[in-house]
Chain A
Amino acid sequence: MPRLDRLPQLNRNNLLMLPVQVNDTAPFTRLVTPLAAARLAIVTTAGLHRRGDRPFGPGEQTYRVIPSDAPTRDLIQSHTSLGFDRVPMMRDPNICFPVDRLRELIARGELCGTGPHHYSFMGAQRDLKRIQEETGPEVGRRLRDEAVDVALITPT
């Protein structure tokens, strides 16, 4: 984002008043393989999903599964907050879901591959309890089962 001091006051206040969890430390899993031998999946909070999937409702803490070979014309975004500009995403989904860039990295041998699926959550969440305790860990286990080493987490 724009640095906070450059935002209009209304936006700035909205952001500063969001209840944000404060942590002192972070869990840490070292990547033991080099990236060129690693498999990556995108986990986005852009509220993306396949066209036939049920759209996200506001504050919904479930997730959607996106096959990593799904063409971007089959995807739609139900995170439509007025807090961000939707035009960049209309022009180029890589702006937050960089599947074409990943294909290029794989073709150049800089990344081994992607997992069979990418995952998507709804953005602009306030209460994160269920993501923290249930759906987040569930996606973590699915990624592990799919032999994914790295998750790239992208916002809208």
Chain B
Amino acid sequence: MLARALEAEGIATTCISMVREHTEKTKPPRALFVPFPFGHALGRPDDPHLQHRVLRAALDLLTEPAGPVLRDFPDDAEAGVEPPAPAQASGIAPADAVPDDPALETAQMRQYHEQWLARSGGRTAFGLSGVPATRFRGAVRFLQAFAAGEDADMEERPADLPLVNFIRYCADDWKALYFEGRLAMKPGVTGDDVARWFWAETAAGQVLRRVRDRLDASEDPRWKAAAFGVAR
């Protein structure tokens, strides 16, 4: 859709498509369908060779004389490396022994997250809520209180940001801290491994399951939508 709008303004576009069935219907002027799992548009992280091949295949479509063009990237997804879509909380049972102190656990994960930052040169998915990592324990208490059904809020929430959006950003930051911390702790793990560890073995994962339950119990469609974004 975006491609069509840009093209109509005189910009030649080429798209990477993740859902062939949708692209067949919307018909952007030029699209390359890639068979990779969601989150892997250009193939694999840290694989410049494969990324260049995908990029080249997308750019090659610009030489076509007419459109719409929908071409398939020739490779198939590698079987067994990553599942086509991420594992979700509802499909992962909590482990028999899960730590019961989310604040302490968060403080421990922060140390690994510091290692992540040192390794990544400061690149991080953490930072949507505006609550700094050094004070994130406050956000943890806030999410715990919300999950317990209390009237919770934080002074860091901007006045014009709805509470439900802020909850989502805090949940996203908490996950980012843990996911990136886990990558520092165990560099070889897959995204699937990290998701399974988070939902099965961490106190944070169990709090977020309850945050989800409270959001989902609301009649407000925005709360329900946020629940779907916190845990499925």
List A residues at the B interface (Cβ < 8 Å).
1-4, 6-8, 11, 15-16, 18, 20-31, 35, 43, 45, 51, 55, 57-58, 72-73, 76-78, 80-96, 98, 100-102, 104-105, 121, 128, 131-132, 136-137, 139-141, 143-144, 148-156
List B residues at the A interface (Cβ < 8 Å).
1-22, 25-29, 34-46, 48, 51-52, 55, 58-59, 62-63, 65-68, 77, 82, 84-86, 88, 120-125, 127-128, 165, 168-169, 172, 175-176, 179-180, 183, 190-192, 194-195, 222, 225-226, 228-229, 231-232
How far apart sit A51 and B118, CA to CA, in the bound complex (Å)? Answer: 18
* A72 engages B52 (CB within 8 Å): no
Q: Shortest distance in angstroms between A71's beta carbon and chain B's nearest beta carbon?
A: 8
Q: Shortest distance in angstroms between B74's beta carbon and chain A's nearest beta carbon?
A: 14
* A55 engages B39 (CB within 8 Å): no
What are the nearest 5 A-B pairs in CB distance? Answer: A140-B9, A2-B84, A136-B5, A87-B191, A92-B45
Q: Shortest distance in angstroms between B184's beta carbon and chain A's nearest beta carbon?
A: 11
How far apart sit A141 and B1, CA to CA, in the bound complex (Å)? Answer: 16
Q: Hey, which chain B residues are within 8 Å of A72, CB to CB?
A: 123
Q: A15-B21, A82-B232, A89-B125 are in contact. Are A101 and B48 (CB under 8 A)?
A: yes
Q: Shortest distance in angstroms between B145's beta carbon and chain A's nearest beta carbon?
A: 22
How far apart sit A30 and B11, CA to CA, in the bound complex (Å)? Answer: 9
